Amino acid sequence: MEENKKVELEKEEKVEEIVENGNDGIKIANDVVAVIAGVAVAEVPGVASMSGGFAGGITEVLSGKKNLSKGIKVEADEKEVKIDVNIIVEYGTRIPDVAFEIQNRVKKAVENMTGLKVEAVNVHVQGVKTEREDNDDIDSKEN
């Protein structure tokens, strides 16, 4: 009987040790943080697309998959993370409002899902998508 109690006590102590260690043994890749941020940005009204540059576009074409981390750069320490977001906004939207909403949503999503502290979310507006660009594409296809 006493041996069984000792074994049970040892098991309980091990469980407590694992819980106390918390996130010490967990490492989250920068790509994972970038995808979380990318999904959060995609949900913000006024964002036309992400601006990922030439390399991101080639990867998307070759793989056939949408790159959810396109246009996002992550710099992470052990407990803090800085995120740079490159976007193209829709014409007519108020850019400061869009940027503020991106900062709030990205910070909330990353902190809730990873437990990391978001030190900064920098929003870089790379361009504006106008309706005229869409109409020009349609007109050129008809001719």
The low-confidence residues of the chain, meaning pLDDT below 70, are 1-24, 53-66, 132-143
Q: Where are the domains of the chain?
A: 27-142
Output the pTM of the full model.
0.68
**Which pLDDT tens digit goes with each residue over 65-81?**
567 888 999 998 878 99
Superfamily for domain range 27-142: Cation efflux protein, cytoplasmic domain (3.30.70.1350)
pLDDT at residue 9, rounded to an integer: 47
- Which is nearest to 40 in space by CA: 94, 105, 130? 105
